Amino acid sequence: MGRFDDKVIVITGAAGGIGKAVAKKVTSEGAKVALVDLNLDAVQNVISELGLDDSRAIALQADVSQEDQVKAYVDVTVDKFGKIDGFLNNAGVEGKTANVEEYPTDVFEFVFNVNVKGAYFGLKYMVPVMKKQGYGSIVNTASLAGLMGSPGMIAYNSSKHAVIGMTRVVATEVAKLGIRVNAVAPGVINTRMMRQIEENTAPGAAEAAQKAYNNAVPMGRYGEPEEVANVTSFLLSDEASYVTQSIYTVDGGLIMQ
């Protein structure tokens, strides 16, 4: 028996490093999944790679900054599977690296539309489904950036602070209804997003930026998406039945530096 036998898990940003790793983890333990991403081809490829058929997986395209598209992926999932046991509210973008006076307003708005409004819409439409069921687990993907300040990353950092705030608010609203809401806060993880952050931090010298990030981590290395997936799957599972409003750092000790 797997931890997720007969469970239905929705994952946004499912074609990215962390989303894909969580999909692999929960489906290996029996879950059915609705995998949501802006890039439909990429998320269909994830389903193929995981060897899932349409009885266990559905690929859904959505721009999470658009409320109607978020409502649609929730509705389609319920129509297909009849319920939603767990939700990884994961889709996000990094934006640019620039000091506040130089940060482009349009990029700031784009980051907030995806990272903040996208997470908010996910909560707005997922909570009623779980209220009706009387149970459910939601995990928001925050970031170590939501617990600290990083020069040049005002949009990303402040958006992830907002995700942590939403986690705490909604967790208190639904705690007596059988719904748990937590967040994971990854540090430097070996994903496409970190490749872009490295390049943004030191254009033309991304390798040096990566070395500096590695040196800053007490464990001396980047984390892997699978290591975030291990923590996330615990929070989605019944093993975390008394865990809510918690922020789990997955950062090799970086937060203490």
List residues with catalytic annotation.
156
Q: Position 177: which residue type?
A: L
Tokens 């033309």 -> residue? 204
SS (H, E, C) 195-215: HHHHHHHCCCCHHHHHHHHHH
28/22 Cα distance (integer angstroms): 10
Q: Position 257: which residue type?
A: Q
Tokens 């980047």 -> residue? 222
CA distances 214 to 29, 207, 251, Å, are 32, 11, 11
CB 138 within 8 A of CB 181: yes
136/39 Cα distance (integer angstroms): 27
CB 140 within 8 A of CB 166: yes
| Exposed e or buried b per residue across 135-145, where buried means at least 16 C-beta atoms within 10 angstroms of its C-beta | ebbbbbbbbbb
